[in-house]
Amino acid sequence: MEYYNYIKSLHLIFVITWFAGLFYIPRLFVYQIEAFDKPEPDKSILGNQLKLMAKRLWFIITWPSAILATLFAIILLIMQPVWLQQGWMHVKLGFVILLIAYHLKTHHIFKQLQVDKVKYTSGQMRLWNEGSTLILFSVIFLVIVRNALDWIYGVIGIFALGILLMLGIKLYKKIRARNPDA
């Protein structure tokens, strides 16, 4: 138990850097998709630069952070096996599985864009960008309030956050339609 706080600190550091990558990569996807509508040579120059930025972010920060956050989480669970008997941890692990699925789908989108396959609109990628935000909010509130969480209010709160994010995206689209430089 002497190393517990060090392991926990490393887990949190890599969770933060993992989320940083997950927050930024869809934004790069938005820019890549929008670059496809530009005339040459802007299309090629922007496209190549954004692919390089995405590749570096994904393989130098996001993937290593995901692996290390998971590794340190497993070590923490080995050090504190009693957590696996608590309901809040089961729910948290469910969100972790959802986060891993989100990460893997994002990797799939990354691979498509690296070979110039555009299957999504920039608006869809803006919406996709909010997925990691919802997962992060869910996990943080769950871990902090644990058993005190009133599940009904918690679920309503997550849905309300999702609705607010979608309304914010719609508002941004309206503002951007009026002022394309926004």
The stretch 33-43 carries a mean pLDDT of 91
11 is in an annotated binding site: yes
pLDDT band at 147 (very low <50, low <70, confident <90, very high): low
Q: How far is CA 141 from the centre of its chain?
A: 16
The string of pLDDT tens digits covering residues 61-83 is: 999 999 999 999 999 999 999 99
Domain boundaries, the chain: 4-178
Q: What pLDDT score was predicted for residue 149? A: 54
Asked whether residue 8 carries a pLDDT value surpassing 80, the answer given is yes
90 is in an annotated binding site: no
Q: What pLDDT score was predicted for residue 17? A: 98
SS3 for the chain is CCCHHHHHHHHHHHHHHHHHHHHHHHHHHHHHHHHCCCCCCHHHHHHHHHHHHHHHHHHHHHHHHHHHHHHHHHHHHHHCHHHHHCHHHHHHHHHHHHHHHHHHHHHHHHHHHHCCCCCCCHHHHHHHHHHHHHHHHHHHHHHHHHHHCCHHHHHHHHHHHHHHHHHHHHHHHHHHHHCCCC
